[in-house]
């Protein structure tokens, strides 16, 4: 326990200098106000133990980490066949908000639910007679997975996302024109923007990752939140698509199912073992936390966490 604690503190200090090499997201102006020098980490294991270091208590917005909960709700509320008729689970070699593939690839379906187009289209598949019910369905899943029943939307980030969300509007209108979605685009995007603007700390996201590590059960209560098959599919798609066009590099460097958000968070899942969250708002070119990635790479090497490693005891 003490050893792990010291190890994490050392890893934060060792990797903090990477913060200087990245930039906070500017296309959502409110996010550019974050201090780029922050770096924190939280870990929960499947037995309920926890470790934290660095700026782990600093609030940040969940951003695309919430897409993991979107995808879980989509899977629970639909058969896999129905779901993949609308959204495939193919990796993308383009950025998370790319529009080009909707026209040129994949019979107009969004490539996967971890990029913006797939997440926005996916909301329409989540159970709920109204957009508000769909919001609550995903929000409730996030509350259960984080073990935090006091989650709330950061209003400044939400307003900023809404004001500067024209790329997401473009994606949604394009998908409406090709019949992937129907109905009112504004209310659909309002759900999306709110679910990206939920404020969390590292510990919340590490608990969320621990639920996936524990195959859909909450380690702190034993409650089953979704079934093992759903957990398996989500971890597979996180591995191939969770870091967008950086997913291949992340598989090599870290070797864990991962998901990033432009707020600076990255969640990583060590199956049957650990839920991990790192937070560092200075991002690389692809929108992934730079120092967070490097910290995870060191952690994975030191603890031999890669799922592709052949030398497990």
Residues marked active site are found at: 64, 67, 192, 244, 262
How near is the Cβ of 310 to ligand GLN at its closest, in Å? Answer: 32
How near is the Cβ of 66 to ligand GLN at its closest, in Å? Answer: 8
Q: How far apart (Å, rounded) are the C-alpha atoms in residues 239 and 284? A: 19
> Is the Cβ–Cβ distance between 308 and 251 less than 8 Å?
yes
Q: Which residues bind to ligand GLN, rule: CB under 6 A?
A: 63-64, 96-97, 116, 161, 168, 196, 261-262, 287
> Is the Cβ–Cβ distance between 282 and 295 less than 8 Å?
no
Identity of the residue, 196 or 203, whose beta carbon is nearer to ligand GLN in the bound complex = 196
Q: Which residues contact 273 (CB under 8 A, 6 or more apart)?
A: 45, 46, 213, 305
* Residues 18-42: b if buried by 16+ CB within 10 A, e if exposed: bbeebebbeebebbeebebebbbbb
73, two tokens: 């709700």
Identity of the residue, 95 or 128, whose beta carbon is nearer to ligand GLN in the bound complex = 95
For 285, other C-beta atoms within 10 Å of its C-beta total: 11
Identity of the residue, 194 or 217, whose beta carbon is nearer to ligand GLN in the bound complex = 194
How near is the Cβ of 246 to ligand GLN at its closest, in Å? Answer: 11
Identity of the residue, 215 or 245, whose beta carbon is nearer to ligand GLN in the bound complex = 245
Paired sense of beta strands 40-45 and 274-279, if any:
antiparallel
Q: How far is CA 277 from the centre of its chain?
A: 10
Q: How far apart (Å, rounded) are the C-alpha atoms in residues 257 and 266? A: 10
Query: Residue 171: helix, strand or coil by DSSP?
Result: helix
Q: How deeply is 252 buried, as exposed, middle or buried, from its count of CB atoms within 10 A (0-12, 13-18, 19+)?
A: exposed
Identity of the residue, 195 or 254, whose beta carbon is nearer to ligand GLN in the bound complex = 195
Q: How far apart (Å, rounded) are the C-alpha atoms in residues 276 and 51? A: 10
How near is the Cβ of 153 to ligand GLN at its closest, in Å? Answer: 12
Identity of the residue, 73 or 120, whose beta carbon is nearer to ligand GLN in the bound complex = 120
How near is the Cβ of 262 to ligand GLN at its closest, in Å? Answer: 4
102, two tokens: 């909707």
How near is the Cβ of 212 to ligand GLN at its closest, in Å? Answer: 18
For 295, other C-beta atoms within 10 Å of its C-beta total: 29
> Is the Cβ–Cβ distance between 32 and 24 less than 8 Å?
yes
């Amino acid at each position: 326990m003490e050893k792990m604690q010291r190890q994490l503190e050392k890893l934060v200090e060792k990797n903090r200098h990477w913060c200087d090499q990245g930039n906070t997201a500017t296309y959502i102006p409110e996010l550019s106000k974050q201090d780029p020098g922050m770096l924190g980490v939280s870990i929960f294991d499947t037995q309920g133990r926890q470790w934290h270091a660095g700026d782990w208590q600093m609030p940040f917005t969940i951003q695309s980490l919430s897409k993991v909960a979107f995808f879980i709700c989509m899977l629970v509320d639909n058969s896999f066949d129905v779901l993949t008729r609308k959204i495939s689970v193919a990796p993308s070699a383009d950025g998370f908000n790319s529009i080009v593939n909707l026209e040129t690839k994949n019979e107009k379906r969004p490539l996967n639910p971890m990029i913006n187009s797939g997440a926005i289209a996916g909301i329409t598949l989540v159970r709920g007679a109204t957009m508000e019910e769909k919001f609550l369905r995903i929000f409730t899943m996030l509350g259960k997975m984080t073990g935090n029943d006091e989650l709330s939307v950061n209003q400044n980030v939400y307003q900023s996302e809404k004001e500067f969300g024209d790329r997401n509007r473009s994606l949604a209108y394009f998908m409406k024109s090709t019949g992937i979605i129907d109905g009112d685009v504004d209310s659909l995007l309002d759900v999306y923007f709110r679910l990206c603007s939920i404020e969390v700390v590292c510990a919340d996201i590490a608990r969320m990752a621990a639920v996936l590590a524990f195959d859909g059960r909450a380690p702190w209560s034993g409650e089953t939140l979704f079934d093992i098959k759903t957990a398996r599919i989500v971890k597979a798609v996180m591995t191939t698509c969770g870091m967008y066009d950086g997913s291949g590099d992340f598989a090599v460097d870290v070797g864990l199912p991962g998901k990033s958000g432009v707020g600076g968070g990255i969640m990583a899942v060590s199956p049957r073992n650990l839920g991990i969250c790192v937070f560092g708002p200075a991002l690389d070119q692809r929108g992934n936390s730079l120092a967070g990635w490097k910290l995870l790479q060191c952690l994975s090497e030191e603890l031999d966490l890669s799922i592709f490693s052949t030398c497990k005891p």
